Structure 1
Amino acid sequence: MAEVSKNEGNDTSTKLKRNLGLFDGVSIIVGIIVGSGIFVSPKGVLLYSGSIGLALVVWILSGFLSLIGALCYAELGTMIPQSGGDYAYILTTFGSLPAFLYLWSALIIIMPAGNAITALTFANYVLEPFYPECEPPDSAVRLLAALVISLLTAVNCHNVKWTTKIQDVFSVTKVLALLVIIVAGLIFLGLGNIQNLESPFQDSKTDPGQIVLAFYSGLFSFAGWNYLNFVTEELNEPNKNLPRAIAISLPLVTLIYLLANFAYFTVLSPTELLASNAVAVSFGRRLLGSMAWIMPVFVACSTFGAVNGGIFASSRLFFVGARNGHMPKLMAFLNITQLTPVPCLIILGIITLAMLTTSNVFVLINYASFVESTFITMSVGALLFLRYKQPNWVRPIKVNILLPITFFILCSILVCVPIFTQPKDVGFGLIIVASGIPAYFIFCKAKRPQWMKNMVSSIEIFVQKLCLAVEEDEEIEEKSADAMPESADNGGRIANNGGETADLDKETADPDEIIKLKDESQDESNGRLHQD
């Protein structure tokens, strides 16, 4: 292992580096949120709300709800400054099994299928100009999607700075695309075209189930607001830059989304909008004339950046899970030259490519949406629980208690209503989660026979040689106000108050045993962090 250097400027240790600044943080949030949703399917909000006026209200409230959630996650992310987002918070608060179930659901369906669908959207819009009279061939779409996933996985393996530069460029590009839509719509409105806006709340729906589905469509377009929490360990000054990035990006995205939808409704009638599978393209054909080709290009740029950001953030989630013993240990290896989790990225890339073999991915994502909402609700519940259970933990950011309570109640409603309105989707979502329970006891709790240990060790050595990767170096030092007692340890060592360490067998250590030792160490500190 490389030696841990105390000099930040000459740090040669093998660990994740803090290479992300404020602009990178904003780009990650904006780049992931503004994917294909706002360009392709805003009609879902209109379909379930019934009117233009109520649809705009849903967009505003969806942005507001996402902002409240992001502020709650800012408190969690600075109180528990570990990469992994929801996984780290659930692990710290509720223990090993619930955290594993989140990780299992994310690995099996949520993350790879989401990235695959975004890549398929990219491929569709790149190929559309070459097939103006028909749909692009399915095989060509899947092949191009596979190529972009492979390319961006390779870029993420090679260099974090390259990844963030791509994210920065394409985040700016997609915002420019939305500005084109907004400006064109406002010009069209300024010419006196107000017929679509004369009765904005006509035909509004009042059924609670339909309203909840409208919010699901709106919140889908804001998905990704919590992804910066997956890479907290790589963010410079997270106590400052995490909340700043949230405070900049969420209001910006909400305003842009609201104005873009207003532009859509100005140019397209509700009937035209509901009949379109690609609203931005229909908008361009109606208003931009010979320049209509620019919309597919903008959508392609948007989805390209979203795939890049999704691969970057989700790989860190599984890296942290492997580091804590909830994923194969080889997924916690870092390349010794680029300091990127190459094995984890390759495994995630392979699973994502596998999702391209079936069109049922889209159905599975609908099932998984309920699961993801459930775990987000659990994460905010963790914030409320820790406010009561650990009131003395240092919180660099502490939001008003009404915000997490409000967010928890609203998320609970969004989780509970589909149980009655969409029981089939909820049932399949629960099956995905439940399938992780036997996997947890087999892979995390059961003792492995010697032959299996030897086989796993041989595979790990092969992966280390193939990827030039090793385990992350352990940083044994006094915890500062920026550090939080971890629920699970990096590599099986626990630092106590006296600076001594307790060693655990990395092959046989139970994640629950690691968590117990961590909690005992924290109890000796009276639940408080050390100040430098």
Structure 2
Amino acid sequence: MAKVFGANDLSQGTGLGAAKILGGDNAERSSRSPTVEPPSEKDTSGGDQASKKETAPSGSAEPSEKTKEKPPRPVDRKVPDDEVDTGRGLARSLTLTNCVTMIVGCIIGSGIFISPTGVQEGAGSVGLSLIIWIVCGFWCALGAYCYAELGTLITKSGGDYAYIMEAFGPFIAFLRLWIESIVVRPAALAIVGMTFALYALRPIYPDCDPPKWSIELLALGMIVILCGINCWSVNLTTSVQDWFTYAKLAALIAVIGTGGYRFFFGGAKYRDSFDNLFEGTSRDISQPAVAFFSGLYAYQGWTYLNFVTEELINPRRNLPLAVMISMIIVTLVYVLYNCALYVVLSPDEMLISPAVAGLFAEKEFGKLAFLMPIIVAISTVGSANGLIMTSSRLFFCGAREGHMPVILAMINKEHRTPIPAVVFTCLVAVGYLFTAGHIYVLINASQVTIWIAIFVVTLALFKLRYSMPDAPRSVKVYIIAPIIFTIGTGALIVLSVIGAPFDTVFGLLILFSAVPIYVIFVCIGLPRPLRRVMHHFTAFWQKLFLLVDDNKEK
């Protein structure tokens, strides 16, 4: 870990009341890490018995066949220290199934129900639209595979933040943490909450928009309930994620099944959209690029599993396997879902309203069409739950490295959940709920910073291959994959800058507003009176929620 300026102040508890982040502190954390002693030669090779035989007197009798000891059993593979659940810190409890539902549940949200309109508008034809959905899935799978190599090399939670920290040091990592903590994660959670409320209230207000207070109240209720679940139990959190993922997949499969039935048994009118697949294809190269961005929006969430790596059982196996399974599932479901839409709706009807799922339901389900908004609401619950879990781990890791208040690096002794980090995530999101007019401006402005972060992470992959060539990697992608992904991500950044220069400048201003924060609170540190206040504040919440410092837990 690279050193940070102002180390002496930090060692006295400065910098947002944070823990030490120097190499010495890393050594302290290493000293408390679970260690598995290597088997001695006596235990593994039978060498002790052999030496006794060699030093025995030459006249001693040879042991009989019955008294001869059996050859030692082969030694089991030594479990790496970073895969052992020691009963301290965050619990390693996420199975392969939990990992798959985490990725699928985070990706499939409201995006798939509104993005088809944007993709069709930019593509101009059914054929190009479906190709864009496939390419978007392949593109995100390529990026997820690059992230899988980093996740199996650096098995710490924190995702982008952890990889940038390891490759480029604490300052660049802090910039990433800053934009995520003050804008991206809480604002995204607030938007998901309002989307849930809007669709959940649609059956009650079918002909008009619900009152603003009802949307805010219902969104607040969902966030508070999910916050409580995430604070109480990791197992309960993953169960909620599992079942809501199964529910949204079942709903999408029902739509796909309906479209498939109509295509094969409904008559020629249901196959009209597929007669001339590329009729109307846009000739303006910028339009398919816009469609590509709309498709990528529906795939957001493919990086989220890397934020909870420390809680995965056997991460070196399960992380890449979960990535592969999840991206295949999501891409297949998305393409078939869009095919089902084109069976029932014409390309022109796809452009009438972003709520294409509602139009599909009105045509096919009749009086049961009110179920579609409920299905969309269910999808958002799973996304919000995954967002809270992964965001809280990001802030937990940032505090553990000394980049956020130390209270956020604490976990409940009994439940082993990062309660302060979960509550922080939800509190900031609730604050955004009541400033709804500014959320979308901030989200749009921060989009370019997200792609910049992904670009830097892919550069980190090259850097770590050079600086850690012999480190164990259960996944090592072909070098052409990160090269293609890096070039493509750079192109996306350029297109974002050209297409939305104001949002880009605003987003970069938010990003670099972290520089004075880093200098004042991390490098220099808090004044002594404020350190004393932070100490009492931290001690109060420790006693209230039975919290222990993950950096100091024995």
What's the offset of the Cα at 1:11?
Answer: 6.9
Q: Residue 115 of structure 1 aligns with which residue?
A: 189
Amino acid at match of 1:437: V
Query: Is residue 322 from structure 1 mapped to residue 396 from structure 2 by the alignment?
Result: no
What's the offset of the Cα at 1:163?
Answer: 0.3
What's the offset of the Cα at 1:14?
Answer: 3.5
What's the offset of the Cα at 1:466?
Answer: 2.4
Which is further off, 123-132 or 46-55? 46-55
Q: Residue 472 of structure 1 aligns with which residue?
A: 550
Superimposed CA distance per residue, residues 112-158 of structure 1 (whole angstroms, 9 cap, x where no aligned partner): 11111111111111111111221111110111001000100010000
CA distance in 2, matches of 1:12, 1:240: 19
Query: Is residue 261 from structure 1 mapped to residue 330 from structure 2 by the alignment?
Result: no
Query: Is residue 134 from structure 1 mapped to residue 208 from structure 2 by the alignment?
Result: yes
Alignment partner for residue 172 of structure 1, among 239, 246, 266?
Answer: 246
Q: Residue 434 of structure 2 aligns with which residue?
A: 357
CA distance in 2, matches of 1:160, 1:258: 32
Do 1:368 and 1:429's aligned partners in 2 also have CA atoms closer than 8 Å? yes
Do 1:15 and 1:339's aligned partners in 2 also have CA atoms closer than 8 Å? yes
CA distance in 2, matches of 1:320, 1:226: 16
Q: Residue 79 of structure 1 aligns with which residue?
A: 153
Alignment partner for residue 98 of structure 2, among 24, 39, 45?
Answer: 24
Do 1:50 and 1:204's aligned partners in 2 also have CA atoms closer than 8 Å? yes
Q: Residue 48 of structure 2 aligns with which residue?
A: none
What's the offset of the Cα at 1:417?
Answer: 1.5
> Which aligned pairs between 1:484-495 and structure 2 lie closer than 5 A?
none
Which is further off, 359-368 or 315-324? 359-368
Superimposed CA distance per residue, residues 90-120 of structure 1 (whole angstroms, 9 cap, x where no aligned partner): 0101111110011000011111111111111
CA distance in 1, matches of 2:441, 2:127: 30
Alignment partner for residue 381 of structure 1, among 455, 459, 463?
Answer: 459
CA distance in 2, matches of 1:273, 1:267: 10
Do 1:41 and 1:278's aligned partners in 2 also have CA atoms closer than 8 Å? no
Larger gyration radius, structure 1 or structure 2: 2
TM-score, normalised by the number of residues in structure 1: 0.86
Query: Is residue 146 from structure 1 mapped to residue 223 from structure 2 by the alignment?
Result: no
Query: Is residue 60 from structure 1 mapped to residue 60 from structure 2 by the alignment?
Result: no
Do 1:110 and 1:365's aligned partners in 2 also have CA atoms closer than 8 Å? yes
Alignment partner for residue 299 of structure 1, among 373, 376, 384?
Answer: 376
Q: Residue 441 of structure 1 aligns with which residue?
A: 519
> Which aligned pairs between 1:63-462 and structure 2 lie closer than 5 A?
63-190=137-264, 191=266, 192=268, 193-359=270-436, 360-462=438-540
> Against the structure 1 CA distance between its residues 329 and 43, is the aligned structure 2 distance closer, same or farther, given a 3 Å change threshold?
same
Task: Identify unmatched segments of 5+ residues in structure 2.
Answer: 1-31, 37-80
Superimposed CA distance per residue, residues 26-78 of structure 1 (whole angstroms, 9 cap, x where no aligned partner): 00000000011112332111122222211111100000001111111110000
Amino acid at match of 2:541: V
CA distance in 1, matches of 2:547, 2:525: 26
CA distance in 2, matches of 1:416, 1:287: 42
Superimposed CA distance per residue, residues 399-423 of structure 1 (whole angstroms, 9 cap, x where no aligned partner): 1111111111111100112212211
> Which aligned pairs between 1:509-520 and structure 2 lie closer than 5 A?
none
Runs of 4 or more consecutive aligned structure 1 residues displaced over 4 Å after TM superposition: 3-13, 473-476
What's the offset of the Cα at 1:437?
Answer: 1.1
CA distance in 1, matches of 2:105, 2:498: 34
What's the offset of the Cα at 1:317?
Answer: 0.7
CA distance in 2, matches of 1:347, 1:370: 25
Q: Residue 521 of structure 1 aligns with which residue?
A: none
Do 1:13 and 1:473's aligned partners in 2 also have CA atoms closer than 8 Å? no
SS at match of 2:209: coil
Superimposed CA distance per residue, residues 235-262 of structure 1 (whole angstroms, 9 cap, x where no aligned partner): 0000110011111110110000000011
Q: Residue 4 of structure 2 aligns with which residue?
A: none
Do 1:4 and 1:11's aligned partners in 2 also have CA atoms closer than 8 Å? no
Amino acid at match of 1:449: P
Do 2:133 and 2:295's aligned partners in 1 also have CA atoms closer than 8 Å? yes
- Work out the number of aligned pairs and report it: 475
Do 2:116 and 2:354's aligned partners in 1 also have CA atoms closer than 8 Å? no
CA distance in 2, matches of 1:255, 1:215: 17
Do 1:91 and 1:99's aligned partners in 2 also have CA atoms closer than 8 Å? yes
Do 1:5 and 1:13's aligned partners in 2 also have CA atoms closer than 8 Å? no
What's the offset of the Cα at 1:205?
Answer: 2.2
SS at match of 2:91: coil
CA distance in 2, matches of 1:448, 1:418: 38
SS at match of 2:532: helix
SS at match of 1:394: coil
CA distance in 1, matches of 2:203, 2:431: 27
SS at match of 2:351: helix
Superimposed CA distance per residue, residues 272-296 of structure 1 (whole angstroms, 9 cap, x where no aligned partner): 2122131211110111112212211
> Against the structure 1 CA distance between its residues 384 and 185, is the aligned structure 2 distance closer, same or farther, given a 3 Å change threshold?
same
Which is further off, 464-473 or 347-356? 464-473
> Against the structure 1 CA distance between its residues 155 and 433, is the aligned structure 2 distance closer, same or farther, given a 3 Å change threshold?
same
> Against the structure 1 CA distance between its residues 4 and 374, is the aligned structure 2 distance closer, same or farther, given a 3 Å change threshold?
closer
CA distance in 1, matches of 2:338, 2:545: 46
Superimposed CA distance per residue, residues 404-458 of structure 1 (whole angstroms, 9 cap, x where no aligned partner): 1111111110011221221111111111101111111111111332112111111
SS at match of 2:367: helix
SS at match of 1:42: helix
Do 1:19 and 1:234's aligned partners in 2 also have CA atoms closer than 8 Å? yes
Superimposed CA distance per residue, residues 336-380 of structure 1 (whole angstroms, 9 cap, x where no aligned partner): 111101011111111000111122212221111111111011101
What's the offset of the Cα at 1:196?
Answer: 2.1
> Against the structure 1 CA distance between its residues 125 and 447, is the aligned structure 2 distance closer, same or farther, given a 3 Å change threshold?
closer
CA distance in 2, matches of 1:390, 1:475: 29
SS at match of 1:339: coil
Amino acid at match of 1:63: G
Which is further off, 97-106 or 47-56? 47-56
SS at match of 1:201: coil
> Against the structure 1 CA distance between its residues 338 and 88, is the aligned structure 2 distance closer, same or farther, given a 3 Å change threshold?
same
Q: Residue 113 of structure 2 aligns with which residue?
A: 39
Do 1:209 and 1:417's aligned partners in 2 also have CA atoms closer than 8 Å? no
Amino acid at match of 1:127: L
SS at match of 1:349: helix
CA distance in 2, matches of 1:382, 1:5: 27
> Against the structure 1 CA distance between its residues 59 and 17, is the aligned structure 2 distance closer, same or farther, given a 3 Å change threshold?
same
CA distance in 2, matches of 1:10, 1:215: 41
Task: Identify unmatched segments of 5+ residues in structure 1.
Answer: 477-532
SS at match of 1:439: helix
Alpha-carbon RMSD across the aligned residues, in angstroms, is: 2.0
Do 2:413 and 2:547's aligned partners in 1 also have CA atoms closer than 8 Å? yes
CA distance in 2, matches of 1:126, 1:380: 39
What's the offset of the Cα at 1:12?
Answer: 7.0
What's the offset of the Cα at 1:4?
Answer: 8.3
Which is further off, 162-171 or 364-373? 364-373
